[in-house]
Structure 1
Protein backbone atom coordinates (compact mmCIF):
# COMPACT_ATOMS: atom_id res chain seq x y z
CA UNK A 1 0.00 0.00 0.00
CA UNK A 2 1.15 3.53 -0.72
CA UNK A 3 1.68 5.62 2.44
CA UNK A 4 -0.95 7.98 1.06
CA UNK A 5 -3.56 5.23 1.32
CA UNK A 6 -2.88 4.31 4.93
CA UNK A 7 -5.99 4.96 7.00
CA UNK A 8 -5.29 6.47 10.45
CA UNK A 9 -8.63 5.14 11.72
CA UNK A 10 -7.65 1.59 10.77
CA UNK A 11 -4.29 2.06 12.49
CA UNK A 12 -5.97 3.23 15.70
CA UNK A 13 -8.55 0.43 15.52
CA UNK A 14 -5.83 -2.22 15.23
CA UNK A 15 -4.02 -0.74 18.25
CA UNK A 16 -7.20 -0.67 20.35
CA UNK A 17 -8.23 -4.20 19.38
CA UNK A 18 -4.79 -5.62 20.10
CA UNK A 19 -4.60 -3.90 23.49
CA UNK A 20 -8.11 -4.99 24.47
CA UNK A 21 -7.47 -8.62 23.48
CA UNK A 22 -4.30 -8.51 25.55
CA UNK A 23 -6.11 -7.08 28.56
CA UNK A 24 -9.04 -9.48 28.35
CA UNK A 25 -7.39 -12.73 27.29
CA UNK A 26 -3.66 -12.41 27.90
CA UNK A 27 -0.64 -12.68 25.64
CA UNK A 28 -1.88 -15.81 23.87
CA UNK A 29 -4.69 -13.75 22.31
CA UNK A 30 -2.23 -11.41 20.61
CA UNK A 31 -2.02 -12.84 17.10
CA UNK A 32 -2.27 -11.17 13.73
CA UNK A 33 -5.16 -13.46 12.81
CA UNK A 34 -7.31 -12.57 15.83
CA UNK A 35 -6.53 -8.88 15.67
CA UNK A 36 -7.20 -8.43 11.97
CA UNK A 37 -10.27 -10.68 11.97
CA UNK A 38 -11.90 -8.43 14.55
CA UNK A 39 -10.79 -5.34 12.61
CA UNK A 40 -12.25 -6.75 9.39
CA UNK A 41 -9.02 -6.53 7.46
CA UNK A 42 -6.28 -8.85 6.20
CA UNK A 43 -3.38 -10.12 8.30
CA UNK A 44 -1.05 -8.06 6.10
CA UNK A 45 -2.48 -4.92 7.70
CA UNK A 46 -0.34 -5.45 10.81
CA UNK A 47 2.82 -5.47 8.70
CA UNK A 48 1.63 -2.65 6.44
CA UNK A 49 0.91 -0.31 9.34
CA UNK A 50 3.47 -1.42 11.94
CA UNK A 51 6.12 -3.53 10.19
CA UNK A 52 5.79 -6.37 12.70
CA UNK A 53 3.88 -7.49 15.78
CA UNK A 54 6.62 -5.92 17.87
CA UNK A 55 5.96 -2.66 16.06
CA UNK A 56 2.27 -2.95 16.90
CA UNK A 57 3.05 -3.42 20.61
CA UNK A 58 5.35 -0.36 20.50
CA UNK A 59 2.53 1.62 18.92
CA UNK A 60 0.26 0.62 21.82
CA UNK A 61 2.72 2.24 24.24
CA UNK A 62 3.05 5.38 22.12
CA UNK A 63 -0.71 5.66 21.60
CA UNK A 64 -1.30 5.42 25.34
CA UNK A 65 1.03 8.35 26.01
CA UNK A 66 -0.43 10.32 23.09
CA UNK A 67 -3.88 9.97 24.66
CA UNK A 68 -2.50 11.08 28.01
CA UNK A 69 -0.98 14.15 26.35
CA UNK A 70 -4.34 15.00 24.75
CA UNK A 71 -6.02 14.58 28.13
CA UNK A 72 -3.53 16.97 29.76
CA UNK A 73 -4.13 19.48 26.97
CA UNK A 74 -7.78 19.79 28.06
CA UNK A 75 -6.76 21.15 31.47
CA UNK A 76 -6.91 24.96 31.53
CA UNK A 77 -4.23 27.18 32.98
CA UNK A 78 -5.82 29.40 35.62
CA UNK A 79 -4.70 31.83 38.31
CA UNK A 80 -4.75 28.89 40.74
CA UNK A 81 -1.88 26.69 39.51
CA UNK A 82 -2.26 24.30 42.46
CA UNK A 83 -5.83 23.57 41.39
CA UNK A 84 -4.47 23.10 37.85
CA UNK A 85 -2.00 20.55 39.25
CA UNK A 86 -4.80 18.65 40.97
CA UNK A 87 -6.85 18.58 37.75
CA UNK A 88 -3.82 17.19 35.89
CA UNK A 89 -3.74 14.39 38.45
CA UNK A 90 -7.41 13.67 37.81
CA UNK A 91 -6.64 13.67 34.07
CA UNK A 92 -3.89 11.10 34.60
CA UNK A 93 -6.23 8.85 36.58
CA UNK A 94 -9.06 9.22 34.09
CA UNK A 95 -6.83 8.42 31.12
CA UNK A 96 -5.62 5.28 32.87
CA UNK A 97 -9.18 4.14 33.55
CA UNK A 98 -10.56 4.71 30.06
CA UNK A 99 -7.41 3.33 28.39
CA UNK A 100 -6.65 0.57 30.87
CA UNK A 101 -6.10 -1.81 27.92
CA UNK A 102 -3.04 0.29 26.96
CA UNK A 103 -1.76 1.03 30.45
CA UNK A 104 0.39 -2.04 31.20
CA UNK A 105 2.08 -1.80 27.80
CA UNK A 106 2.88 1.91 28.30
CA UNK A 107 5.11 1.16 31.27
CA UNK A 108 6.65 -2.10 30.12
CA UNK A 109 4.31 -4.26 32.19
CA UNK A 110 3.87 -6.54 29.19
CA UNK A 111 6.79 -7.95 27.19
CA UNK A 112 5.30 -9.33 23.98
CA UNK A 113 6.22 -10.33 20.46
CA UNK A 114 9.89 -9.64 21.14
CA UNK A 115 9.10 -6.07 22.19
CA UNK A 116 10.77 -4.36 25.11
CA UNK A 117 10.87 -0.65 25.88
CA UNK A 118 13.86 1.24 24.51
CA UNK A 119 15.26 4.46 25.93
CA UNK A 120 13.55 6.30 23.05
CA UNK A 121 10.23 4.73 24.05
CA UNK A 122 10.72 5.83 27.65
CA UNK A 123 11.65 9.33 26.51
CA UNK A 124 8.42 9.40 24.51
CA UNK A 125 6.59 8.77 27.78
CA UNK A 126 8.67 11.24 29.78
CA UNK A 127 7.80 13.95 27.27
CA UNK A 128 4.22 14.05 28.56
CA UNK A 129 5.54 15.02 31.99
CA UNK A 130 6.49 18.43 30.56
CA UNK A 131 2.97 19.73 31.21
CA UNK A 132 3.28 18.85 34.90
CA UNK A 133 6.78 20.36 35.13
CA UNK A 134 5.47 23.63 33.68
CA UNK A 135 2.60 23.65 36.16
CA UNK A 136 4.97 23.03 39.08
CA UNK A 137 7.01 26.00 37.90
CA UNK A 138 3.92 28.20 37.98
CA UNK A 139 3.14 27.01 41.52
CA UNK A 140 6.64 28.04 42.60
CA UNK A 141 6.39 31.42 40.82
CA UNK A 142 3.05 32.07 42.53
CA UNK A 143 4.64 31.48 45.93
CA UNK A 144 2.51 28.41 46.63
CA UNK A 145 5.45 26.00 46.55
CA UNK A 146 8.89 26.49 48.05
CA UNK A 147 11.70 27.38 45.66
CA UNK A 148 12.66 23.92 44.43
CA UNK A 149 13.26 21.91 41.28
CA UNK A 150 9.95 21.77 39.33
CA UNK A 151 11.15 18.61 37.55
CA UNK A 152 11.55 16.83 40.89
CA UNK A 153 8.12 18.03 42.05
CA UNK A 154 6.58 16.76 38.80
CA UNK A 155 8.21 13.37 39.36
CA UNK A 156 6.82 13.25 42.90
CA UNK A 157 3.36 13.90 41.48
CA UNK A 158 3.86 11.24 38.82
CA UNK A 159 5.19 8.58 41.18
CA UNK A 160 2.47 9.17 43.76
CA UNK A 161 -0.42 9.30 41.30
CA UNK A 162 0.89 6.33 39.33
CA UNK A 163 1.02 4.23 42.48
CA UNK A 164 -2.56 5.11 43.34
CA UNK A 165 -3.68 4.35 39.78
CA UNK A 166 -2.20 0.85 39.94
CA UNK A 167 -4.24 0.10 43.07
CA UNK A 168 -7.30 1.81 41.58
CA UNK A 169 -7.18 -0.26 38.39
CA UNK A 170 -6.63 -3.39 40.44
CA UNK A 171 -9.78 -2.55 42.44
CA UNK A 172 -7.92 -2.66 45.73
CA UNK A 173 -9.23 0.73 46.85
CA UNK A 174 -12.75 0.43 48.25
CA UNK A 175 -14.82 2.41 50.76
CA UNK A 176 -14.21 3.71 53.33
CA UNK A 177 -10.84 4.35 51.64
CA UNK A 178 -11.89 4.70 48.02
CA UNK A 179 -9.65 6.05 45.27
CA UNK A 180 -11.00 9.61 45.39
CA UNK A 181 -10.62 9.91 49.14
CA UNK A 182 -7.14 8.39 49.06
CA UNK A 183 -6.11 10.70 46.19
CA UNK A 184 -7.28 13.83 48.01
CA UNK A 185 -5.48 12.89 51.26
CA UNK A 186 -2.33 11.88 49.41
CA UNK A 187 -2.31 15.03 47.28
CA UNK A 188 -2.91 17.31 50.27
CA UNK A 189 0.12 15.79 52.01
CA UNK A 190 2.25 16.17 48.89
CA UNK A 191 1.21 19.79 48.29
CA UNK A 192 1.93 20.76 51.89
CA UNK A 193 5.21 18.86 51.71
CA UNK A 194 6.43 21.02 48.83
CA UNK A 195 5.51 24.27 50.56
CA UNK A 196 1.78 24.99 50.34
CA UNK A 197 -0.27 25.58 53.49
CA UNK A 198 -3.14 23.28 54.43
CA UNK A 199 -5.88 25.92 54.07
CA UNK A 200 -4.77 27.01 50.59
CA UNK A 201 -4.21 23.44 49.41
CA UNK A 202 -7.67 22.41 50.62
CA UNK A 203 -9.28 25.36 48.80
CA UNK A 204 -7.44 24.50 45.57
CA UNK A 205 -8.49 20.86 45.78
CA UNK A 206 -12.10 21.95 46.25
CA UNK A 207 -11.78 24.16 43.15
CA UNK A 208 -10.30 21.26 41.17
CA UNK A 209 -13.31 19.08 41.94
CA UNK A 210 -15.62 21.62 40.29
CA UNK A 211 -13.47 21.51 37.12
CA UNK A 212 -13.00 17.74 37.01
CA UNK A 213 -16.06 16.81 34.97
CA UNK A 214 -15.83 19.69 32.50
CA UNK A 215 -12.10 19.49 31.77
CA UNK A 216 -11.41 15.80 32.28
CA UNK A 217 -14.44 13.53 32.08
CA UNK A 218 -16.83 15.33 29.75
CA UNK A 219 -16.75 14.12 26.11
CA UNK A 220 -14.51 16.22 23.90
CA UNK A 221 -16.54 18.62 21.73
CA UNK A 222 -16.90 17.60 18.11
CA UNK A 223 -15.81 20.33 15.73
CA UNK A 224 -17.92 20.58 12.62
CA UNK A 225 -16.47 21.16 9.19
CA UNK A 226 -17.23 24.47 7.61
Structure 2
Protein backbone atom coordinates (compact mmCIF):
# COMPACT_ATOMS: atom_id res chain seq x y z
CA UNK A 1 0.00 0.00 0.00
CA UNK A 2 1.35 3.42 -0.93
CA UNK A 3 2.00 5.89 1.85
CA UNK A 4 -0.49 8.69 2.27
CA UNK A 5 0.73 12.28 2.28
CA UNK A 6 0.19 12.56 6.04
CA UNK A 7 2.27 9.50 6.85
CA UNK A 8 5.01 10.68 4.53
CA UNK A 9 5.17 14.05 6.30
CA UNK A 10 5.22 12.32 9.66
CA UNK A 11 8.17 10.14 8.66
CA UNK A 12 9.99 13.10 7.14
CA UNK A 13 9.62 15.07 10.37
CA UNK A 14 11.04 12.20 12.42
CA UNK A 15 13.95 11.76 10.02
CA UNK A 16 14.57 15.51 10.10
CA UNK A 17 14.54 15.43 13.88
CA UNK A 18 17.23 12.78 13.98
CA UNK A 19 19.35 14.72 11.48
CA UNK A 20 19.04 17.96 13.45
CA UNK A 21 19.67 16.17 16.72
CA UNK A 22 22.98 14.78 15.48
CA UNK A 23 24.02 17.96 13.70
CA UNK A 24 23.00 20.64 16.19
CA UNK A 25 22.08 18.90 19.44
CA UNK A 26 18.74 18.68 21.28
CA UNK A 27 18.37 22.48 21.31
CA UNK A 28 17.59 22.26 17.59
CA UNK A 29 14.48 20.18 18.19
CA UNK A 30 11.90 22.91 17.94
CA UNK A 31 8.86 23.16 15.71
CA UNK A 32 10.17 26.00 13.57
CA UNK A 33 13.48 24.31 12.66
CA UNK A 34 11.92 20.92 12.11
CA UNK A 35 9.20 22.27 9.87
CA UNK A 36 11.72 24.31 7.90
CA UNK A 37 13.86 21.21 7.43
CA UNK A 38 11.10 19.53 5.41
CA UNK A 39 9.67 22.69 3.86
CA UNK A 40 6.44 22.71 5.88
CA UNK A 41 4.73 25.04 8.33
CA UNK A 42 4.95 24.58 12.07
CA UNK A 43 1.35 23.35 12.02
CA UNK A 44 2.66 20.07 10.56
CA UNK A 45 4.19 19.24 13.94
CA UNK A 46 0.88 19.74 15.73
CA UNK A 47 -1.17 18.07 13.02
CA UNK A 48 0.86 14.84 13.01
CA UNK A 49 2.14 14.65 16.60
CA UNK A 50 -0.10 16.88 18.70
CA UNK A 51 2.89 19.00 19.65
CA UNK A 52 6.60 18.80 20.32
CA UNK A 53 6.25 16.21 23.10
CA UNK A 54 4.70 13.77 20.64
CA UNK A 55 7.38 14.46 18.05
CA UNK A 56 10.15 14.03 20.63
CA UNK A 57 8.71 10.64 21.56
CA UNK A 58 8.51 9.60 17.90
CA UNK A 59 12.15 10.63 17.38
CA UNK A 60 13.16 8.64 20.43
CA UNK A 61 11.26 5.56 19.26
CA UNK A 62 12.93 5.73 15.86
CA UNK A 63 16.35 6.13 17.49
CA UNK A 64 15.76 2.97 19.53
CA UNK A 65 14.55 1.12 16.42
CA UNK A 66 17.85 1.94 14.70
CA UNK A 67 19.78 1.02 17.83
CA UNK A 68 18.01 -2.34 18.10
CA UNK A 69 18.62 -3.01 14.43
CA UNK A 70 22.36 -2.51 14.92
CA UNK A 71 22.35 -4.94 17.86
CA UNK A 72 20.34 -7.54 15.91
CA UNK A 73 22.92 -7.39 13.12
CA UNK A 74 25.52 -8.88 15.49
CA UNK A 75 25.98 -12.56 14.57
CA UNK A 76 25.10 -15.06 17.30
CA UNK A 77 27.57 -17.90 17.81
CA UNK A 78 27.95 -20.92 20.06
CA UNK A 79 29.86 -18.80 22.59
CA UNK A 80 27.29 -16.62 24.36
CA UNK A 81 29.92 -14.77 26.42
CA UNK A 82 31.64 -13.69 23.21
CA UNK A 83 28.21 -12.74 21.84
CA UNK A 84 27.54 -10.55 24.88
CA UNK A 85 30.78 -8.66 24.34
CA UNK A 86 30.02 -8.39 20.62
CA UNK A 87 26.71 -6.76 21.53
CA UNK A 88 28.64 -4.41 23.79
CA UNK A 89 30.98 -3.44 20.98
CA UNK A 90 28.02 -2.80 18.66
CA UNK A 91 26.47 -0.69 21.43
CA UNK A 92 29.73 1.28 21.68
CA UNK A 93 29.89 1.78 17.92
CA UNK A 94 26.35 3.15 17.85
CA UNK A 95 27.03 5.63 20.64
CA UNK A 96 30.32 6.88 19.22
CA UNK A 97 28.72 7.32 15.78
CA UNK A 98 25.61 9.04 17.20
CA UNK A 99 26.56 10.72 20.50
CA UNK A 100 23.84 13.39 20.52
CA UNK A 101 21.20 10.85 19.60
CA UNK A 102 22.28 8.57 22.44
CA UNK A 103 22.22 11.38 24.98
CA UNK A 104 18.68 12.19 23.88
CA UNK A 105 17.63 8.53 24.06
CA UNK A 106 18.72 8.15 27.67
CA UNK A 107 17.66 11.55 28.91
CA UNK A 108 20.98 13.39 29.14
CA UNK A 109 19.57 16.47 27.47
CA UNK A 110 18.30 19.89 28.38
CA UNK A 111 15.16 20.33 30.49
CA UNK A 112 11.97 19.64 28.59
CA UNK A 113 13.66 17.90 25.66
CA UNK A 114 13.15 14.39 26.98
CA UNK A 115 9.77 12.69 27.40
CA UNK A 116 9.37 10.81 30.71
CA UNK A 117 9.88 7.17 29.72
CA UNK A 118 11.70 5.55 32.63
CA UNK A 119 10.61 2.38 34.40
CA UNK A 120 11.90 0.79 37.57
CA UNK A 121 13.76 -2.01 35.80
CA UNK A 122 13.99 -4.22 38.87
CA UNK A 123 10.31 -3.89 39.73
CA UNK A 124 8.86 -3.70 36.21
CA UNK A 125 11.29 -5.90 34.28
CA UNK A 126 11.75 -3.34 31.52
CA UNK A 127 13.86 -0.16 31.51
CA UNK A 128 11.37 2.18 29.80
CA UNK A 129 7.77 2.60 28.71
CA UNK A 130 8.82 2.35 25.04
CA UNK A 131 8.54 -1.04 23.35
CA UNK A 132 11.38 -0.14 20.98
CA UNK A 133 13.77 0.53 23.87
CA UNK A 134 12.73 -2.61 25.73
CA UNK A 135 13.24 -4.73 22.62
CA UNK A 136 16.83 -3.51 22.38
CA UNK A 137 17.50 -4.27 26.05
CA UNK A 138 15.89 -7.71 25.70
CA UNK A 139 18.69 -8.73 23.34
CA UNK A 140 21.10 -8.45 26.27
CA UNK A 141 18.72 -10.36 28.54
CA UNK A 142 18.36 -13.17 25.98
CA UNK A 143 22.15 -13.45 25.66
CA UNK A 144 22.56 -13.55 29.44
CA UNK A 145 20.03 -16.39 29.58
CA UNK A 146 22.11 -18.28 27.01
CA UNK A 147 25.22 -17.76 29.14
CA UNK A 148 23.41 -19.20 32.17
CA UNK A 149 22.03 -22.12 30.14
CA UNK A 150 25.59 -22.91 29.00
CA UNK A 151 26.70 -23.12 32.63
CA UNK A 152 29.17 -20.27 32.27
CA UNK A 153 27.72 -18.19 35.13
CA UNK A 154 25.46 -18.92 38.09
CA UNK A 155 21.70 -19.11 37.50
CA UNK A 156 20.30 -15.78 38.63
CA UNK A 157 17.88 -13.03 37.63
CA UNK A 158 18.81 -12.57 33.97
CA UNK A 159 17.27 -9.09 33.85
CA UNK A 160 19.39 -7.90 36.78
CA UNK A 161 22.54 -9.44 35.30
CA UNK A 162 21.83 -7.82 31.91
CA UNK A 163 21.39 -4.53 33.76
CA UNK A 164 24.83 -4.99 35.33
CA UNK A 165 26.35 -5.42 31.88
CA UNK A 166 24.35 -2.47 30.57
CA UNK A 167 25.64 -0.32 33.44
CA UNK A 168 29.22 -1.22 32.50
CA UNK A 169 28.59 -0.29 28.86
CA UNK A 170 26.71 2.89 29.60
CA UNK A 171 29.37 4.27 31.92
CA UNK A 172 32.18 3.27 29.61
CA UNK A 173 30.74 4.70 26.39
CA UNK A 174 29.84 8.03 27.99
CA UNK A 175 33.41 8.40 29.20
CA UNK A 176 34.88 7.34 25.86
CA UNK A 177 32.55 9.69 23.97
CA UNK A 178 33.82 12.49 26.21
CA UNK A 179 37.40 11.67 25.19
CA UNK A 180 38.46 10.23 28.54
CA UNK A 181 40.09 7.20 26.90
CA UNK A 182 41.48 9.00 23.86
CA UNK A 183 40.45 8.30 20.30
CA UNK A 184 42.60 5.28 19.49
CA UNK A 185 40.27 2.68 20.99
CA UNK A 186 42.76 1.77 23.73
CA UNK A 187 40.03 1.98 26.34
CA UNK A 188 38.44 -1.16 24.91
CA UNK A 189 41.57 -3.16 25.72
CA UNK A 190 42.54 -1.55 29.00
CA UNK A 191 39.15 -0.74 30.51
CA UNK A 192 36.10 -2.33 28.85
CA UNK A 193 37.46 -5.82 28.15
CA UNK A 194 38.99 -6.29 31.64
CA UNK A 195 35.77 -4.96 33.17
CA UNK A 196 33.69 -7.51 31.26
CA UNK A 197 36.06 -10.32 32.27
CA UNK A 198 35.87 -9.28 35.91
CA UNK A 199 32.08 -9.12 35.73
CA UNK A 200 31.85 -12.59 34.19
CA UNK A 201 34.25 -14.04 36.78
CA UNK A 202 32.30 -12.39 39.59
CA UNK A 203 29.16 -14.04 38.22
CA UNK A 204 30.83 -17.46 38.25
CA UNK A 205 32.69 -17.82 34.95
CA UNK A 206 36.20 -19.22 34.78
CA UNK A 207 38.70 -16.42 34.13
CA UNK A 208 40.56 -18.35 31.44
CA UNK A 209 37.27 -19.16 29.70
CA UNK A 210 36.13 -15.53 29.87
CA UNK A 211 39.42 -14.30 28.41
CA UNK A 212 39.23 -16.96 25.67
CA UNK A 213 35.78 -15.65 24.72
CA UNK A 214 37.23 -12.18 24.32
CA UNK A 215 40.14 -13.52 22.32
CA UNK A 216 37.67 -15.12 19.90
CA UNK A 217 36.66 -11.56 19.01
CA UNK A 218 40.28 -10.46 18.73
CA UNK A 219 39.73 -8.48 21.94
CA UNK A 220 41.65 -9.27 25.08
CA UNK A 221 42.57 -7.40 28.22
CA UNK A 222 45.84 -5.63 27.60
CA UNK A 223 48.71 -6.53 29.90
CA UNK A 224 49.70 -3.87 32.39
CA UNK A 225 52.43 -1.54 31.18
CA UNK A 226 55.95 -2.63 32.08
CA UNK A 227 57.38 -0.77 35.06
CA UNK A 228 60.01 1.81 34.19
CA UNK A 229 63.57 0.52 34.12
CA UNK A 230 65.48 1.40 37.28
CA UNK A 231 67.85 4.27 36.83
CA UNK A 232 71.31 4.46 38.29
CA UNK A 233 71.29 6.43 41.47
CA UNK A 234 73.28 9.58 41.28
CA UNK A 235 75.07 11.05 44.24
CA UNK A 236 78.22 12.75 45.28
CA UNK A 237 81.43 11.07 44.34
CA UNK A 238 83.32 9.82 47.37
CA UNK A 239 86.32 11.90 48.37
CA UNK A 240 89.76 10.39 47.88
Q: Same fold (TM over 0.5)?
A: yes
**C-alpha contact 1:36 1:43 (8 A) present in aligned 2:** yes
Q: Deviation at 1:167?
A: 0.5
Alignment of 1:1-226 (within 5 A): 4-5=4-5, 6-7=7-8, 9-23=11-25, 27=27, 29-113=28-112, 115-119=114-118, 122-124=128-130, 125-174=133-182, 178-181=186-189, 182-209=191-218
**C-alpha contact 1:60 1:105 (8 A) present in aligned 2:** no
Task: Name the one with the larger helix percent.
Answer: 1
TM-score of the superposed pair, with normalisation by structure 2: 0.75
My pick for the range that moved more, 116-125 or 53-62, is 116-125
When residues 91 and 114 of structure 1 are mapped into structure 2, their CA distance, relative to the original with a 3 A threshold, is: closer
Structure 2 partner of 1:216: none
Any idea what the Cα deviations from partners look like across 1:130-189, whole Å, max 9, x if unmatched? Answer: 111111111111111122221111000001100001101111112798331221111111
> Structure 1, unaligned stretches of length 5 or more?
211-226
Structure of higher RCO (CA pairs closer than 8 Å, 6+ residues apart): 1
**C-alpha contact 1:17 1:38 (8 A) present in aligned 2:** no
Q: Deviation at 1:9?
A: 4.8
Number of residue equivalences: 205
Indicate the RMSD between aligned Cα atoms, in angstroms. 2.6
Give the 4+ runs in structure 1 shifted more than 4 A.
111-115
**C-alpha contact 1:13 1:39 (8 A) present in aligned 2:** no
SS in 1 for 2:151: coil
TM-score of the superposed pair, with normalisation by structure 1: 0.79
Structure 2 partner of 1:224: none
**C-alpha contact 1:82 1:201 (8 A) present in aligned 2:** yes
Structure showing greater Rg? 2
1:160, 1:114 → 2: CA distance? Answer: 26
> Structure 2, unaligned stretches of length 5 or more?
120-126, 220-240
